[in-house]
Structures are given as structure tokens and as C-alpha cells.
Chain A
Amino acid sequence: MSLRTMNRVVLAAIVAVSVAPLAGQAPAPASDAPGGARPAAAKAPAKSKSYSAPRTPWGHPDLQGIWNNGTVTPLERPADLADREFLTDEEWAARAKEAAGRAADRPDDPDSDLALAYDNEWWDRGAPLKRTSLIIDPPNGKLPALTPEGQKLVAARAAAAKSHGPADSWEDRPLQERCLLYHGVPAFPTGYNNNYLITQTRDYVAIRYEMLAETRIIPLDGRPQLKTPIPQWLGNSRGHWEGDTLVVEVTGYNPKTTFRFPVDHPTLRIVERFTRTAEGIDYRFTVENPTMYTRPWSAVLPLVKTDGPIYEYACHEGNYGLANVLRGHRYEEQKAAEEGKREGR
């Protein structure tokens, strides 16, 4: 979970505790909370009649606290579930059991265990949702078709990636490996540390990320986006309340920002919606990127309350991995060059 350097026994205990409530499931799961069974409307989250969100003293719905969005549910619907928006209860239970038991059910053979990069005690991926994909619109759970210019852009990026080796420099490595950007906006869950602290005032919502210990700040004061936004890795956020929903518009991304899906940064506009529910926070976002996609698309990433605190995640300060990846590649090149010389003789 959070304390990466604690000893493994303690870590395993934390992971087990944090996963148990999700796998155990509250009665009558609803909407898009993990295990939720109710179909979600494409735009507005389904409203529970009996539920009324707690309020801040100034009357805004209270989103404050520590939340986790870890899930093993994929962005796009897998081919074998192509015609189904939801898993059956049995399918969901089997997946939840598998996800919850990963730390305990480690491979017996140490080589297989280590081949998981970090071993299974490390991971904290979260529970599966009841739905088969995070994408809720288009209804087939897949990213929409790319525009012709989007296709060209994707092909050009693939060609550029092929024009150099996998680790000629740090710039060829993923942003996460460089400790430059991790969960981003929208914050996509990864294998661990999917925890967020939300703090509110009348004028701002701040979201502190466990990963990289950074804070995203969303002004609510109605300030306009700049005509030429200052490119930011997390984009430029502008928020406002629509009834009980916090709506945030994000534009002006740094062109080097990467996402779990292809984007064309200059025309990218993401609209997020945060709504407090009995189960947590219904979080959904719509991607509008007309030069990349033939239509807007939407996905959900529900947040569930979790216990804190969040500990420091200092990534760059101890980033031995990046230097070692580069060093390994240089070593192999040197070895290949020496062998080439020997064979040439």
C-alpha cells in the first residue's frame, strides 16, 4: 500500500486489511462502486433517493478524505465479454477473490514470484468493478474509432519510437519510470498507491496524490482558461459545482504528457464529474479530442473511502531503477561490440 519500505510482513497485513472490505462487499452494491450492479447512465450518475451527501460548513458537498480508485477492470472491454456490460455475480466474485488473494496466493516457485517484477505482496491493484470496462460510452466499451489525422499521429509516434532503441536515453523510458508523472489527470490506477487526499475550501479543491506526493489544485472561483494555456503535465483545471456534482474542465496539457489512450494534446479537453454517493465518489470523465477520436467518449473510475494516512512517496530521490536500466543497456551494447570485434578477427 503506502509504506514501501516497511517490512513485508507488515505490508502484507496492510494489503490484506485494505482489500478485505472491498472483496467482502457491502450489502446492496449500487452504481459503479466496486461490485456495483446497477447500470450507470452515460452522463449523470444514478442518484440514490435516500442518500444525501454530507456538506461542508459553506454548503458544498463534502468530498474530503482519503480515497482509493484501484481496480483491475480494464479501460476497454475484453473481446471475450464483447456483448456484456456487466459480469455475472459469479464471475465478479471469482475475479474479486483472485484480486484479493494475490498477496497470499503467491507462486510457490521464487523465480515465478520474482518474475512479477515486484512480488505479489507489493501489488495493491484493487478490486474489479462489476462492469466489464471502465468505458461506459460508446456502449460497446471500446475507444471510438480514430479520425484519419488521429491515425496518422499514432502511426507517426510508433515510427518515432522505432527510430531509436528502448533505452538510448531516459527520454525513451516511460514517464513513470522517470518519476516525472505517474497517475496524471484523469488519475488512472496502477499497481499500487492509488490513494488520494481531497481537501476543499470554498474556492479550491485540492487533490494530493500519494504517487509522487504531488498536489493537483482545482480553482472554483470562475477564472477563465487562458487564451493560450500554460502547458502543464496535469493540465489546467477549472472547476464549478453543478448541483451536487463537481464538474472540472481540463485543457492545456503539456504535449509530453502520456495517457492510457492516444491523445492529440492541443485539442484535448477532458471534463470530469465528481459526485459523492453512499458508496464513495462516483467519478467519471468525458474525453473530447476531435482531432483524435471520431466522437467523445466517457469512462468511470469510482473512488472508495480508505483509511489513511498517506505516507511520503519520494520517487526520484531513490530512482536507482532508471540509472540501472540505462546502465544495463550500455553494458549489453559494450558486450555486443566486444564480441563483434572478436568475431571479426
Chain B
Amino acid sequence: MRDVSVVLKDLSNILGSKMIQTRILRPEKIYMRVQVGAHRDAIKFILKRDEDAGISAITGVDLGEKIELMYHIRTHGTIITIGTEVSKNNAKIESITDLIPGANFHEREVSDLLGVIFEGHPDPKRLILPEDWPRNIFPLRKDAPITNIPSKMGDSECSGDVKQVSGDERLINVVMGPQHPALIEPERFSLRVEGEIVRQVEPRIGYVHRGIEKATENRTYLQNIYLVERICGICNAAHTVCFCQAVEAIMGVNIPPRAKYLRTIILELNRIHSHMLLLGHAGLEIGYETLFHYIWRDREPIMGIMENLTGNRVITSFITIGGVRRDLREEYIPIIKTELDKLKDKMNFYRRLFENDSTIKVRTKGIGVLSKQDALKLCVVGPVARGSGVRIDVRKDEPYAAYNEIEFNVITYDDGDSWARFMVRLDEIVESINIIQYALNHLPSGPYRVRVPRTVPAGEAISRVEAPRGELFYYVKSNGSSYPERVKIRTPTFSNIPSFIHIAEGCNIADVPAIFASLDPCFSCTDR
């Protein structure tokens, strides 16, 4: 925090009159409002001071006459927000993709949903909304008429960017289309291949877009917990914890210590089951069906523990504003510990398998290399970043729940290839088992929940959680009524997809599913 206040002081000196206002977003996050055009200077300065800085999210809020744009920069382990305003009728602002290439997707999303034009953006195409959505309706604006839209109206462009043969006559277009056995959820990736080598990748996401950010504005905070839980089935605990933390920060509520430990336990159980799901799925992608069946069989005790703890195997519905909904029975704790010990032995077996099996190594070592500089430039998060040697983990940078009281290691590997990413996840499973066992041994007694009022006072808050796939970012703004004003969700896979484009160029077609599996994409999260 000291570094950050120094940065802030220097920044305000540099910007001088262009800086309009600073305030503190809860909990202890700095927000700086600057004039339009000065945002580039501020970001350039932050980048100069910290080379590893990256963009976490770009939020747009409709304020009536103006649209407020917030650039959330991740630096020194915390978030500094640079905010600026543009008028609604003439919503133009300069792009920052030349400074931070990872801001590409974020800017396209804001221009899709709020209608802000980013000048200088290298690829200003539609990202989230379908091709035949009318060009002049921006869903996240408060006055957008989103009922009774006739389909296929106006100047809809067909999906003509997928031509059979590109300008270069030798390239064939192999569409890893919305339906494909390698993808668990639909997205379209057009691979331009020459023989067996991929030359170009063109992604098109948005097939699972359900408009959840807009839907949160019509439901109470209590109902919104269940809505954001269903953004992604696999990392549902992380979404609820992040949302509840943001709302609790606005309200100024402190949850009891037992609730913090219980939240930690359910978050780590979620992480274990998500990583095991991915490792099995990766086995399927490289043709190793036996590995898939074995890992999913060993995943079953974890699902049984979650069912006992929360009442359901996958969608846990365990977290609420003010704590957790159920308590952990004392007689169940030894059973959990026995199952976790058994799982630790099995993970030893899988570790030896991944290190010794020659067919796995031949399919994953040296394949899909993402260097450390590219990982920082593209602002990737989670095991993808940690597999390339970038040491970011929200649990260590800004501890939440009970993580400031529990010792654990942040796993990094320097290779940057698919094998490194799988090994990061394997080792994280063992770390999670250790965390849960520590939490079970040191579980504080007391209440597991505090009662909170139903209305939330006006305010805004930022909350970050380390989901299994990386850093999950929530920005919640409340205006004092029972419905939120704006909920911005930036999921980890949204930051990781641009790295796939970068990695896949130059690889064989046969390696594309394996690389894809190592990135652990969750498209329900990406599209919301």
C-alpha cells in the first residue's frame, strides 16, 4: 500500500490540473478521475513505474448524460482505477491497446454493450453480441429499448468474415465451429491452415451471452447471489464469494471468523474439483481416455463432500451476504480428512504419471509455449500466467476470507508450455488439500452468519477472488435502492482467450485441442 500511495502522489504531480478527483473505493482501492485524454498519460506513467502492470478490467457505467469509463489497472498487487467520462451522444475515446495489448477484448466489449468508440483500436469488430443485433441499440445503457427487438433487422452483416479461402490461396479454413467435440461450450475459432500448420486464428465469442450484467439490475441483492452463481457451474463458489464480498464492503459489514474459514474451505474444494475436471478433460483431448476415467473417478469423493456440506454436488448455494448458509457438523470433519488423505496419495500417482509417461510428454512438452513477456503484455491470469513464470495470485496479493492466516505456496513453473500449465494445476490440488486440512484443524467456533439489512446504502466496491481459472473481478455500484445500479463482472477466461490466438499460430492442427485444454477455457464465464 505504501508503494501505491507513492505512485499516487507522483501521478498527481505529473498530471497536475488534468486530475480532477481522487477517492477511495471500498475496500481501500484508489480511484482517480482524470480528464478525457489524460487517461493515456496516467496509464503510461503507471506502466513506466511497474513493468508488470496489466489491465484487469474496463468498466463502463451509464450515468444518464454521460458514460463513465473506468480502467482498472493491476499493479503492485492491488488495483488502481483511472476513471474518465465521455458524453453519451459523442462517445469517443482513444484506445490504449498500443500501451497494453491485453486491453483489446475489454475495449471491444465496452463498445459493443455501451456504444463507446475506441479510436485507434486495431480490430473494432463485434465481440459479444450476435451479428444481426441492431447497430444502434446498446443493451447496458439505461434507456436502451431491449424488449421486442425484431430479429435480423437493419444492416446486419452475415458471418462473412469466414471465407472459405483467405486472401492467400494456399490456406484452407478449418472452422473449429460452435459444435466441435473438442469444445465443451460453443465458440467459433476459424483456423487458417496450410497443410497441418495453423497460420492464423480468428476467434468469435459471444455464443453463450445471456445478458447477466443487465439482468442483475432487475433483481434484489439476495436474488442476485443465485443469478451470479449460475454464470459458471464449475467455479460457482468464487462468483458468489466475490459478489458477497463486494456487497459486504459497501455495507461495511464484517463477517464472523468461522464464516471466513468455511468460505475458504468451500473455495478450495471448488478449486480441487475444477482442476481435476480439467486434467481429465485434457486427457480426453490428447486421446488418453483411461486417464480421463481414472481422474473423474477420483474426483467423486470431493463431490460427495460438497454434497454433504452444501446439499448439492456442483451448484453449492452455500454463501450469502453476511456469511454462509449452513454450518459444518463436527462429526463430519474426520470423514473429510480421511478422504483428503486418500486423494493426496492418488495425486502422487498422477504426478508420477505426468512426469514419466512418454506419450503425455511427447504431446505436451514444448507445445504451445507462452513466454513471460507475452504473458505480461496480454495480461493473462491464473494458472496460465503461473505456468509461464508470472507470480500473481490474489490469495497472496490481497488476501480475502481466511487466506491471511493460512500458509501456502504459490506454484509457478518457468517452461511456459502446456505441460507446465498442467503441472501447475496438479500441484495446486495438493496445496488446496493442505489448506483445507489446516482450516479444518483451526476452525474457530462461533456464529457462521450475521444478519444484514435488506437495503444496501449507496456506494461502490471492487472485489477480487482467485477462481480456479484466475483472477475474478467484480465492481458493484449501489444507489441506495434495493436493486443494484451496476454490476461489472470480469471473468478470468475473458483475459486468457487472446493468449490462445497468440499461442496457436505456428502449431499443428493436432495440437490445437491440447493447447486449448491447457488454457482451461470456460465460455459460460467469458460470455456471461
* B and A form one assembly: no
